[in-house]
Structure 1
């Protein structure tokens, strides 16, 4: 076989080889142009189109934002005495961007030991913000001297860990007025989601209850802070600028600290509430709920375990002054009003009272089991005769009694600023009973309601508003906590009660103290007073006890209502609650006495 190829074959092979080499170089040149062009286009895009974005990223790497919480506004009583303020305290912060990842495990472990906070909780705080955040993340507030020393030593060799001074909330009177003032605490995840658009951020402090929550916008103030330039390791190089935090607005309340303290002492360790208001203006002079708490405990971080323990102690965060309970015989003020105003009974009506009455097949007894003989309205209030008011309730009928109950402000919120904590109470009617119990309203329901029992529920504050009606001449007042320069007319409206009805009510309430169930208030230590007791059945526990009163009887300045939840083990409202009212009134009127003249 010959190894020499024909010339035609060699020519074709030569032509194909040259073409292939040319195509390869062309392809390589094309790819090079594309790549260089792509890189150039990308560089141009980064330098031009995204220049601002990357400049900001570079700035964020070297500019550190150190926010400063504003100082929260102070809260004062009506005389300018301090109820809530701010104090300086040491807090520990972490800057995740600077903290070295290699050291984080040991840092977190030591922080947990020093602060007695679980490591998982510390890690959760960092995870919420993210490691690239440029602001300080608060880890703990209100550090002890021992913690400050230990953290100073730790921060000396741990980048991103700082101890700084900031203002935290302080309540100089501890648990006094706790349910009025409320407390502040770090913003929750839910609250942050709702309030982020208003400038709130993780670690922010916010009002969580009471006046602190109701007036959060006024008390909060405005964030400040400053910027510093840092090097690659996070060390400060120079300050770039600052914005002063704007402090919150100071508030003056209607509360009288002396009256508040007297009410706190009068209630003592009993579970319940005391409310004192000006019956003419609706100004709240004192508002106490027991059990209570010290709001200062929230100035530092509270563990879930401690929070659970606090809540388990008879619900100390429930404001019993704003929660509904059966008002018992204090409600006979409303029944008497309905009886006379309806025209079914005259102011001079006299009814025979009995040991019991059979109404609609049910036996309704009087509290003394014997009755009081014939009584008029004033006498029936004086002795709190149940069978008298059974007859009044039955006589006016359910719709009329319910209508007057609502006119007196029951079944709706009073309008006090603590609206998120206030209960409307309950004024049941046929519609309510049909919906909830699948039963029609009966005469027995009206009879029960006539003495403040059955489905009726009212808060101590609502009962104080009720007592204000006969005290001020027939006006329904709107209780409020913020001191106001508004005219009295803004805070009350007339119920258009006839003068003869008001006269009967005031005669009866004065007789209660003079010679009836409220003789504990018949004391020379206060001006002549008027009032009404109440004892509500509350099975399976002991009875609830009530006493409400006002003084002076001829020109009332103060209404006080005392309530004891299941505190009727040793007696009724006249025996246990009336002395509480007396102590509060003594504090109020003693403060009004002119100072004694020095003996020459």
Structure 2
């Protein structure tokens, strides 16, 4: 009996030693985790304002559902997941994936649903008696008071997925973090995000809070003020209407973006709550609503004739006083490049050729200076590369050359390619924003501006690069653009309620659909403060008659709210 007793006592003593000495820290941590609850508090995201201090994006309070994995017994998970899935309209696999990502022994509350409705809150509160690891708490979510207005500029926020979290953990991001996914929200994530806070609570076995052990106050994100003008933005949205296309307005002196609209669009508020398959289908039904057409390339059509005219004058081959005869068509390498009126305009110079948008005049200029010279000036104006605006959705467009054509078509550059480029057709692709930058050059006296949204009040010269144009070139271009509105294809903007406007229309062939339409203009002519470019995708009609009135509508709203 003594031997048996010694063996039993030895076994018990050994087990106690293992539990208390060898594995003691493990069980102490588990006990501490069962006693201590960490309630994370995400930071309040910074607000976004327009240039006059009006709110474009802020936050609002809502309710979210959280799970505390460590207090839920493993056998209860299947039943709990099924109930939560039905109540919250979230797949069971999605909830389980979040728990597994955090770990079943996580002492931190894990958010599983946001923007709960009153019925869901009531049902979850009732269910807490069966699942003591469930919490419903208040949190802030992103709110866009103007709904779809400015959606492509502002972007939207969303929760980091597993892949994104893995990449950004080193930056201090954690499970459940809300980040900017597009637009300004993404571009200025570091300023807007803020720092997490949290509360450490002591709880009893039933999960009841006994006392607060500690608290870290979260740091709200910084507010961001944009160059955007809400009045101009609203007018641009209304002017574009239901048409597919884009409108861009910039300050030609600084490059600050005053308005940027793309349609189809979306309401970024949908990403502040749970997106059901039904809601997602409705969003996608509009046809690529997340594509920012203001930053995508399209044939710039006759707006590009500003570049052609510049190349002609700056090359010295076709000085400002050049007069060329125009024809019904130009025959280049067996291809007929027709005049849009199918008859020609007779002899004309730069001013009248811009006013009436002569294809054969500018085709002769392009062919005369040659492809390399025309390409050089296109790139100096900013075509063929990203403008550098903060939004990373920007496409560079395309200014093709001999090397590009040989690589993609196994064929050399021809005079026909040059003539096609000279009238803004062929391979050339430019975004409405790039076209706005082009119009800013004659508007501000010869500077290419870098478009931007962040209003940091820095020196204007930071945003400008001189193209070193001859004064006579600038003068001729400006006279031509003024003639477009005064007597040519842009008469829609020659109205008494606007200051004098300079501009240029464009109509691009875009088979198999209707033509694209363009109009770009700036005002007041003597000291421009705004450039507006309107682009209609497959709208049909002419640039002056279709896109011109859009520009007029934006300018009217801008000058009404910004007295000259």
TM-score (norm 1): 0.90
Residue 517, structure 1, aligned to residue 489, structure 2: yes
| 1:235 positional shift | 3.4
Residue 136, structure 1, aligned to residue 136, structure 2: no
**Distance across 2 between alignment mates of 1:46 and 1:536:** 80
- Equivalence for 2:555: 585
After superposition, the C-alpha distances for 1:159-189 in whole angstroms (9 at most, x for unaligned) are 1111110000000010111111000011112
Residue 490, structure 1, aligned to residue 469, structure 2: no
CA contact (8 A) 1:255 1:286 kept: yes
Residue 499, structure 1, aligned to residue 471, structure 2: yes
Give the 3-state SS of the residue equivalent to 2:215 in structure 1.
strand
Worse overlay, 147-156 or 258-267? 147-156
After superposition, the C-alpha distances for 1:483-516 in whole angstroms (9 at most, x for unaligned) are 1121000000100000000000000000000010
CA contact (8 A) 2:33 2:70 kept: no
| 1:304 positional shift | 5.2
Give the 3-state SS of the residue equivalent to 1:503 in structure 2.
helix
| 1:368 positional shift | 1.1
After superposition, the C-alpha distances for 1:128-167 in whole angstroms (9 at most, x for unaligned) are 2221111111111111122222222222432111111000
**C-alpha distance 38-378 of structure 1, shift in aligned 2 (>3 A):** farther
Query: Map of 1:564-575 to 2, 5 A cutoff?
Result: 564-568=536-540, 571-575=541-545
| 1:421 positional shift | 0.3
After superposition, the C-alpha distances for 1:194-230 in whole angstroms (9 at most, x for unaligned) are 1112221222111110000011111000000011122
- Equivalence for 1:457: 429
Residue 303, structure 1, aligned to residue 263, structure 2: no
User: Unpaired segments of 5 or more residues in structure 2?
Assistant: none
CA contact (8 A) 2:72 2:132 kept: yes
Give the 3-state SS of the residue equivalent to 1:455 in structure 2.
coil
Give the 3-state SS of the residue equivalent to 2:248 in structure 1.
strand
Residue 357, structure 1, aligned to residue 330, structure 2: yes
State the superposition RMSD in angstroms.
Answer: 2.2
Give the 3-state SS of the residue equivalent to 1:275 in structure 2.
strand
- Equivalence for 1:21: none
Residue 558, structure 1, aligned to residue 530, structure 2: yes
**Distance across 1 between alignment mates of 2:494 and 2:21:** 89
Q: 2:202 aligns with which of 229, 238, 263?
A: 229
CA contact (8 A) 1:467 1:549 kept: yes
- Equivalence for 2:44: 71
| 1:299 positional shift | 0.5
After superposition, the C-alpha distances for 1:409-444 in whole angstroms (9 at most, x for unaligned) are 0111111111x2000000100111111111111111
Q: 2:259 aligns with which of 268, 276, 286?
A: 286
Query: Map of 1:248-327 to 2, 5 A cutoff?
Result: 248-303=221-276, 306-307=279-280, 309-327=282-300
**Distance across 1 between alignment mates of 2:24 and 2:396:** 59
**Distance across 1 between alignment mates of 2:125 and 2:31:** 30
Query: Map of 1:125-524 to 2, 5 A cutoff?
Result: 125-303=98-276, 306-307=279-280, 309-418=282-391, 420-524=392-496
**Distance across 1 between alignment mates of 2:539 and 2:417:** 26
Give the 3-state SS of the residue equivalent to 1:352 in structure 2.
coil
| 1:253 positional shift | 0.4
Give the 3-state SS of the residue equivalent to 1:97 in structure 2.
helix
- Stretches of 4+ aligned residues off by more than 6 angstroms: 35-40, 42-51
**Distance across 1 between alignment mates of 2:361 and 2:531:** 26
Give the 3-state SS of the residue equivalent to 2:69 in structure 1.
coil
- Equivalence for 2:512: 540
**C-alpha distance 38-231 of structure 1, shift in aligned 2 (>3 A):** closer
**Distance across 1 between alignment mates of 2:194 and 2:449:** 32
Worse overlay, 393-402 or 111-120? 111-120
CA contact (8 A) 2:34 2:71 kept: no
**Distance across 2 between alignment mates of 1:224 and 1:334:** 55
**Distance across 1 between alignment mates of 2:10 and 2:69:** 39
CA contact (8 A) 1:100 1:159 kept: no
CA contact (8 A) 1:98 1:233 kept: no
- Equivalence for 2:89: 116
Q: How many residues align?
A: 560
| 1:237 positional shift | 2.4
**Distance across 2 between alignment mates of 1:315 and 1:354:** 42
After superposition, the C-alpha distances for 1:461-489 in whole angstroms (9 at most, x for unaligned) are 00000000000000000000011121000
**Distance across 2 between alignment mates of 1:560 and 1:536:** 18
**Distance across 1 between alignment mates of 2:480 and 2:81:** 70
**Distance across 2 between alignment mates of 1:202 and 1:304:** 23
Structure of larger gyration radius: 1
After superposition, the C-alpha distances for 1:567-599 in whole angstroms (9 at most, x for unaligned) are 11xx111001000000100011111238xxxxx
- Equivalence for 1:80: 53
TM-score (norm 2): 0.95
